Amino acid sequence: MKPYPLKFRPIYKQRIWGGRKLREFFNKDIPAGEKIGESWELADLPDDKSVISNGELAGQTLSSVIQKYPKEITGDENFSGPFPLLIKFLDAEDILSVQVHPDEQTCRRLGRGVPKTECWYIISAVEGAVIYKGLKKGVSKEQFAEAIKKGSIAELLTKVSVEAGQCHFLPAGTAHSIGAGLLIAEIQTPSDTTYRVFDFNRVDDSGKARQLHIEEALESIHFDASGDNLSVTTIGRLVDCKYFKIDKGTQGQNCELLLSPGKMKTLIILTGSGTITGAEGNAVDPVRNSTTAGIRQKQEISNGVEFNAGDTLLVPAVYEGAIQFADDTQYLTVTV
């Protein structure tokens, strides 16, 4: 395998709370007339596997390529999968349900589920936008269960005003909800286990309420942890936990950043554009793209992989090269 940065076909998820911002901000080709709440950019779950969209490996799933080339991709010849990250863009046109994801101990106790820790990077926020992150100090399991019956759960959650550029860390066991008017990059462990405990009495177009998982949620929430203690960061190292590390980078137009081999990296491009060129390739002038939305160029540049705002790229562990930035660019680098 000649390593190169891998790009992927998005997996779109229609959600009752979704909107159309993924097209507005990133020119994503989302289905017409549908409320797309999630774009899974990098996934390796049993029912949702990312497919490579560029280069000689195009059309193959990430999981199949890692099975063939574990050391080249991950740096570990004994890597058996699944890929250790799930990366999404979320478009919350409306508020999400109050929910929780279990930790490892809860999954063992319940005998089901896959643990999930996550973080939210706020890409865009309307004025007055909020998230709900953790319980208010002192809330007990009994109080929370009673609030479920009364429909007053939101009053027991820590309400946080948010703005673009913030990163909010949510360890497993944290009750949470995303408010309306937010576009978010979500980085998490590879799990789709979600226990909804309250959905604001919402129904779908057929008048049917979504399923709740009250018993599982009450078992999963960490009632001894307060939302007041959860961190928010804006620059540099955003998250440093046992599952992943996230760094925010900013580069100006015509800057170059060297990529050294040794560790697999995932790049999430928030704004701007550029080209990644391998060490053996010839330098290529990237195509300049000055539009705010970042018009997506479908073709690959000779000896290089072009990227635009809204792209997620996996840089193999053995890859060596450089990033040339065509525009002022903000991006997240995720390592495990």
Look at the chain and count its residues: 336
- Is residue 286 pLDDT above 70, yes or no? no
pLDDT of 159 over the 90 cut = yes
Contacts of 279 (CB under 8 A, 6+ apart): 320, 321, 322
Give Dmax (Cα) for the chain: 65
For residues 318 and 72, what is the distance between their CA atoms, to the nearest angstrom?
5
Per-residue pLDDT at 291: 33
Q: How does residue 333 score in pLDDT terms, banded at 50, 70 and 90?
A: very high
- Burial track 75-110 (b if 16+ CB lie within 10 A, e otherwise): eeeebeebbbbbbbbbbbbbbbbbbbbbbeebbeee
Residues forming the active site: 196
Would the pLDDT of 285 be above 60? no
- In DSSP notation, 40-106 reads EEE-EETTEE-BB-SGGGTTSBHHHHHHH-HHHHHS-TT-----S-EEEEEEESSPPPEEE---HHH
Query: Tokens at residue 142, please?
Result: 């009994």
Q: How far apart are the first and last CA of the chain?
A: 22
Does pLDDT of 296 surpass 80? no
Please report which confidence band the pLDDT of residue 201 belongs to, taking 50, 70 and 90 as the band edges.
Answer: confident
d(CA 254, CA 261): 23
Q: Strands 167-170 and 232-233, how do they pair?
A: antiparallel
pLDDT digits (tens, 9 = 90+) for 304-323: 999 999 999 999 999 999 99
Q: Is the per-residue pLDDT at 208 higher than 60?
A: yes
Q: Do the domains 245-335 and 6-235 match in fold?
A: yes
| C-alpha to C-alpha distance for 175 and 223, rounded to whole angstroms | 9
CA distances from 326 to 33, 46, 124, 226, 294 (A): 33, 37, 22, 43, 11
Q: Domain extents for the chain?
A: 6-235, 245-335
- The whole-number pLDDT of residue 303 equals 61
Could you tell me which CATH number the domain at 6-235 has? 2.60.120.10
CA 82, 88, 94, 100 dihedral sign is positive
Cα distance between residue 141 and residue 168, in whole Å? 24
Annotation: CATH topology of 245-335: Jelly Rolls (2.60.120)
